[in-house]
Amino acid sequence: MEANRNLVAFHIIESMRKFYDSFVKNPAYLDVKTYFPEHKILEQNWQVIHDEIMQVIEESEIPEFHDLDSGQEFISNNDQKAWNVFVLKLYGFWIDENAERCPKTRELFKGWDHVKTINFSILAPGKYIPPHRGPYKGILRYQIALEVPKNGECYIIVDGKRYHWKAGESVLFDDTYTHEVHNNTNERRIALLLDVKRKDFGFVMRIFDWLYYKLFQTVIVLGGGLNKSKVY
C-alpha cells in the first residue's frame, strides 16, 4: 500500500497511527457541523473559490502530486492519468506565491489557524487513486467539491463506505482510514481539500501531538516541500 516509502519512515508512521488510535476513537466519516462548523462559510462561497482556481488552471501548469512528494508516486503516478495539486498552505506554512493568485479564497481563511493545509485537487478523467492511508491522525480531512462530472460515477471510498461528491457540498473524514478514489468518467473533478487540526485530544495527548506535528513541519521544510509547491 505504501511500498515506495522509506521503510523506517513507514514503520514509524504505522506505529504512530496505532498510538493515536489507542487514545482517540472516531468513525471514518465525521459530522462536519460538529468538527468544522466553518464549512458553512465555504459552502456559501464555493462559487467564488471555484472561479479563482479556474483562472489559475487556465494560466498555469499545475504540478502532479508526486512532483511535490515523491513518496506519493504509488498513488499519484500509478495509471498515467494526472492528479494535479495546487497548494495554498502546507502544514501551517502559506505558499504566498500561490495564495496571492487566489486572494478571495485566502481571505476566507483569515484567522482560521486550525486549518493547516489548503490545496486544490484536480483529478483527470478516468483517474484512479488506489487504497492508501494518511500518516497523521492529528488532522481531519475536509473536502468541498467545486467541479463534479455530470455523467458517470466519481466518488471516494473511506473504510469501505462510498461518498459521491456534489458541487458545493462538504464532507469530513479521518484519512488515516484506508481510502481510495474513482473518477470513472470522461470529465475532471476539482475539489478544495483542507487539513483541519483536531481539538478533541486530552491534555497529555495535546502536548505529544504538538511535538509530533512540529516533526512533520520540519520534514516538510527540510524536504523542500514549500519550494516544490510554488507555481509561477
Does residue 14 form part of some domain? no
Does residue 115 form part of some domain? yes
pLDDT of residue 195: 98
Answering whether pTM is above 0.85, one says: yes
- The answer to whether 196 touches 146, Cβ cutoff 8 Å, is no
CATH number of the domain enclosing 205? 2.60.120.330
Does residue 120 form part of some domain? yes
Tell how far CA 206 is from the center of its chain.
22
Does residue 21 form part of some domain? no
Does residue 11 form part of some domain? no
- List own/partner pairs for 29-34 with CB under 8 A and 24 or more apart: 29/158, 29/161, 29/163, 29/171, 29/172, 29/173, 30/140, 30/172, 30/173, 30/174, 31/172, 32/142, 32/170, 32/171, 32/172
pLDDT of residue 12: 86
Report CA dihedral (36, 178, 136, 39) to the nearest 10 degrees: -10
Q: Amino acid letter at 20?
A: Y
How many CB atoms neighbour CB 150 within 10 A?
10
Q: Tell me the pLDDT tens digit for each residue of 58-90.
A: 999 999 999 998 888 999 999 999 999 999 999
Does residue 183 form part of some domain? yes
Q: Tell me the pLDDT tens digit for each residue of 95-118.
A: 999 999 999 999 999 999 999 999
Q: How many domains does the chain have?
A: 1
Alpha carbons 145 and 135: distance in angstroms, whole number: 23
Give, as one character, the DSSP assignment of residue 150: S
- Which stretches of the chain drop beneath a pLDDT of 70? 1-6
Tell how far CA 143 is from the center of its chain.
8
Does residue 65 form part of some domain? yes
Does residue 10 form part of some domain? no
Residue 126 domain boundaries: 33-216
